[in-house]
Amino acid sequence: MVNPWRYWTLRYADLTACAEGTGGYRERSLSLAQKEFQQWFPTLARQTTLSAQQERDIQTVLFSWFRAEGGDNLKRRAIAGLCLRCCVSHAIFRACHDLAAQFGRKYGFTTRDLLPLVLTDDGNNLMLVKGERATQAILRRDGTVAANPYQFFSVEILRKFDPARVEKKTVSDWAYLLTRQHPELRRVLAVEYGVIIATPWALLNQASTTKLHCLSDRDRVLIKVFHAVYRRDRRGKRGKCPDPSSQQLAEMAALLRERQVVVESLGKLLEELKKIADFLRDERVNPKRGQSEENNDSPTEPHPLEFLHPQLVEVLDTAIAQAVFQRLDKLKRSRRYAEFASRFLEGLRLIYEEGKSQSDVANLLGMSNQSQVSRVFKLSELIGLVRHRVKDGLFKVILKHFERERDRICADSQAFNNLLQQVEEFVDETVFQDAVREIKVGKSRNMNSLFARELCHFLEEYA
């Protein structure tokens, strides 16, 4: 249930509110939005709460006005958008609050640390989305329209919301999802606080027991059983990994008993799985943290760029997404292989999550033979494309990190080339040597490289 006043009450980040101890945000009632909303929906505006269907009905009307093209009533369009921006602001706040509740205590951040990254719309201007590129624009008091120099995240949410593609979801649901996926928010969480946003079940679903030597034998068995049930049931599904059902947990418990592993109850099993996921979350940001003592008997000299590992993960995630979508777009435009574009992400999942050989993939996806799989997926080419993007992206990060010496490094060709070589060595040693090595294995593959883990994380979100 939603309160109708959320359509005229706006929340926005305010640094002075932090100093006053009010949680880093302010809430204001917008009289213009309230007046129009009450005229447009007189009965619903007087209700204490709205049902899910009533909320969808309201949003259908507001979006039809906000997105109307060619109409003369620009002010009605902008005020409809203002009501939606108010609604969205509460969802953005809730997403930040939930992230802080989920991770903040352990990783050292609060809701007010996140709000300035996403809750930036103060509602002072009436906004429109106009043109083929749907750019943000300000509606001035004299009725003229001007480009908005700052792109509000709230308006971007409205621009991207498509009820036809997110069936049964409200714009609040959409805003909550996009906030948790906000690139800068995720970057700050990863780089400054060392937290990766993913459900415990996504992390466990992507886990590889053969790579995590510091896990106990019991934990490895738990992950294998989790894979046997949960990964099987996730095959072909998209979106967020939900909590395991009671039936799934019961099946896992039965498989554990067959392996002489005792669990006190399904609740205790759920707790154990969450603890393993917490470790995996830390390990994705700092893989060196969990090495066992026996693996440290012969310590090696750390690479001089090792301190940039969290940034590397962020750059790698971006590069993987860009490279995969680039390859997918190329397939769609290919005369010879366009028919396989719809099976591309599923094929990557079979290879990287399930360790299938190219022959297996050919059989499962209805392709003619292993050679055709090789020509369609071109794994070496994909890895090379990602490597090029990671090398360039991380080099920019490093130049920013050494900002005081940036001009000297760029002016000194020897220093520039040395730094570039260090970057290449670092990304190859950390990511791409293992990535290339594992795709050369024919059968019984263990796709355990950092590249494979991050690709699986991408596939979990988009496949």
The domain in which residue 120 lies consists of 4-191
> What would the pLDDT profile of 124-169 be if each residue is shown by its tens digit?
999 988 765 568 889 888 888 888 877 899 999 998 887 666 556 7
Q: Is residue 16 located within the same domain as residue 60?
A: yes
- Domain final position from 244, 260, 291: 291
- 311: closest CA among 291, 289, 286, 282? 286
382 contacts 327 by C-beta, under 8 angstroms? yes
Q: Is residue 321 located within the same domain as residue 247?
A: no
Q: Is residue 106 located within the same domain as residue 148?
A: yes
Residue 306 lies in a domain: no
The C-alpha atoms of residue 249 and residue 98 are separated, in whole angstroms, by 25
Residue 300 lies in a domain: no
Per-residue pLDDT band at 409 (split at 50, 70, 90): low
Q: Is residue 235 located within the same domain as residue 168?
A: no
Better-scored residue on pLDDT, 19 or 249: 249
Q: How distant, in Å, are the alpha carbons of 193, 406, 425 from that of 306?
A: 17, 19, 11
Q: Tokens for 430, please give them.
A: 């950390």
Q: Tell me, what's the pLDDT at 298? A: 39
Q: Is residue 335 located within the same domain as residue 455?
A: yes
Residues ≥6 apart with Cβ < 8 Å to 228: 252, 255
Q: Is residue 345 located within the same domain as residue 273?
A: no
Q: Tell me, what's the pLDDT at 290? A: 41
Q: How many helices (H) and strands (E) does the chain have?
A: 24, 5
Residue 305 lies in a domain: no
Residue 348 lies in a domain: yes
- 324: closest CA among 356, 357, 355, 346? 346
Q: Tell me, what's the pLDDT at 460? A: 78
Kindly report each contact of residues 131-134 with a partner whose C-beta sits within 8 Å and lies 24 or more positions away, as own/partner: 134/159
Q: Is residue 328 located within the same domain as residue 353?
A: yes
- 243: closest CA among 283, 213, 274? 274
Helix (H) or strand (E) holding 320: helix 309-332
Helix (H) or strand (E) holding 27: strand 25-29
Q: Tell me, what's the pLDDT at 165? A: 63
- Domain final position from 191, 224, 245: 191
> What would the pLDDT profile of 163-187 be if each residue is shown by its tens digit?
666 556 789 988 998 898 887 888 7
Q: Is residue 278 located within the same domain as residue 217?
A: yes
Q: Is residue 158 located within the same domain as residue 37?
A: yes
Type of residue found at 389: R
Residue 302 lies in a domain: no
Candidate from 48-57, 99-108, 420-429 with smallest mean pLDDT: 420-429
Cα 188 to the chain's mean position, in Å?
A: 13
Q: Is residue 183 located within the same domain as residue 205?
A: no
Per-residue pLDDT band at 399 (split at 50, 70, 90): confident
Q: What predicted TM-score, i.e. pTM, was given to this entire model?
A: 0.58
The C-alpha atoms of residue 300 and residue 279 are separated, in whole angstroms, by 24
Residue 382 lies in a domain: yes
188 contacts 107 by C-beta, under 8 angstroms? no
Candidate from 8-17, 86-95, 145-154, 438-447 with smallest mean pLDDT: 438-447
Average pLDDT over residues 245-257: 93
SS3 of residue 140 by DSSP? coil
Q: How distant, in Å, are the alpha carbons of 172, 192, 375, 377, 436 from that of 372?
A: 44, 44, 5, 9, 20
* DSSP conformation letters of 215-230: S-HHHHHHHHHHIIII
Q: Is residue 261 located within the same domain as residue 148?
A: no
pLDDT of 254 higher than 90:
yes
Instruction: Report the domain count for the chain.
Output: 3
Average pLDDT over residues 411-433: 74
- Domain final position from 166, 191, 216: 191
> What would the pLDDT profile of 195-229 be if each residue is shown by its tens digit?
777 778 888 887 765 556 677 888 888 988 999 99
Residue 154 lies in a domain: yes
Residue 297 lies in a domain: no
253 contacts 266 by C-beta, under 8 angstroms? yes
Q: Give exposure, 24-35, as e/b (b: 16+ Cβ within 10 Å).
A: bbbbeebeebbe
pLDDT of 390 higher than 70:
yes
226 contacts 252 by C-beta, under 8 angstroms? yes
Q: Is residue 337 located within the same domain as residue 356?
A: yes
